[in-house]
Structure 1
Amino acid sequence: MTGLAAVLLYIAVMIVLVLSYALPRVPQVLTGKNRPDAWGRDQPSIDPPLLVRAQHAHANAVENFPLFLGVVVIGALMGKSATVIDPLACFVVYLRIAQAVTHLIGTSFWLVMTRATFFLSQIALIGTMAWKLCQS
């Protein structure tokens, strides 16, 4: 998998996450059960815990995406994708998927620690790619 393909897969993961909590809201609005503005950020959540976790997993993916995208694009612009980015980029996405799934499963101590490990591993890989680009 190339770095740019990994970026596209990361985007697909974010789309799945956002749809997983946004789509269940549509029937609630259409049937009048909830108002369209019932999910304001300044209001307590009315979603079931799984949808709240999906929303948090999506937000976390969005927060880290610019770092990943930046390194992949810079690597491509430097002509270093094949040697620096491509060997590691797929693992960033695999770890992101693992982190999201773990986030969806629950919030026990061990799940949170596992999720943190997946997160820190992604950051380490992105940092490694950036470091290698600086050394090139």
Structure 2
Amino acid sequence: MSASLTALLGFMAWTLVLLVLMEAIRSKLVLTGEVPANGFNPENTNLSPFMQRLARAHANCLEGLPIFGGLLLLAAVAGKTSVTDPLAYLLLAARIVQSVIHLASLSPAAVTARFTAFAVQVGIAVYWVVRLAA
């Protein structure tokens, strides 16, 4: 499997890890009677700050998947993974770093670091679009 497809798999797996973590914590909250089964909202705004950050980190992955994953898939289908392979793992690493920082803190320094990780992803995507279109 090419680096591009491996990174795409990693992106989807990371998104799934965040979802499984969120649902495991929600299940514990229901089983312990802390929250009724119908007491959740999509943003987890009625739960702890960590759970709210977890919901946003997961949503960020879902929002980015069509763009970043789409470019990786397009390159693979078009036989142009030579464009995306060199930066595919960096894109995945930047996504994971962004999520981990999001889960850890909302301090100004953390938000700046998280934005930097996102900017790396956007920069890579723009570069890929230009190269794939050429």
Q: Does TM, normalized by the shorter one, top 0.5?
A: yes
Which AA in structure 2 matches 1:40?
Answer: N
1:118 match? 117
Alpha-carbon offset, residue 3 of structure 1 = 0.4
**Residue by residue, what CA displacement relative to the aligned partner does 1:47-93 show, whole Å, maximum 9, x if unpaired?**
22112111111111110011012111111122111x10111111110
Which stretches in structure 2 are left out of the alignment for 5+ residues? Answer: none
The total of aligned residue pairs comes to 133
- Contact 1:96 1:118 (C-alpha < 8 Å) held by counterparts: yes
- Contact persistence 1:28–1:34 (CA under 8 A): yes
Are positions 1:6 and 2:7 aligned together? Answer: yes
1:63 is matched with 63
- Gaps in structure 1 of 5+ consecutive residues: none
- Partner deviation per Cα, 1:85-124 (whole Å, 9 max, x = no partner): 1111111100001101111110011110110111011011
Contact preservation (8 Å) 1:57, 1:100: yes
Q: Distance in 1 between matches of 2:97 and 2:48?
A: 22
2:97 equivalent in structure 1:
98
Give aligned-pair identity as a percent: 32
Aligned equivalent of 1:134: 133
Asked whether the equivalents of residues 21 and 52 of structure 1 are also in contact (C-alpha less than 8 Å), the reply is no
Q: Which residue of 1 aligns with 2:35?
A: 34
SS of 1:24's equivalent in the other structure is: helix
Comparing 65-74 with 29-38, greater Cα deviation is found at: 29-38
Residue of structure 2 equivalent to 1:46: 46
TM-score (norm 2): 0.91
State the secondary structure of the residue aligned to 1:19: helix
Q: Name the counterpart of 1:24.
A: 25
TM-score (norm 1): 0.90
8 Å CA contact retained: 1:20, 1:51? no
Structure 1 residue runs of 4 or more that deviate by more than 4 Å after TM superposition: none
RMSD of aligned alpha carbons: 1.6
Q: Which whole-Å CA distance do the structure 2 matches of 1:76 and 1:85 have between them?
A: 9
What is the identity, as a one-letter code, of the residue corresponding to 2:24?
L
> Whole-Å Cα distance in 1 between the matches of residues 32 and 104 of structure 2?
29
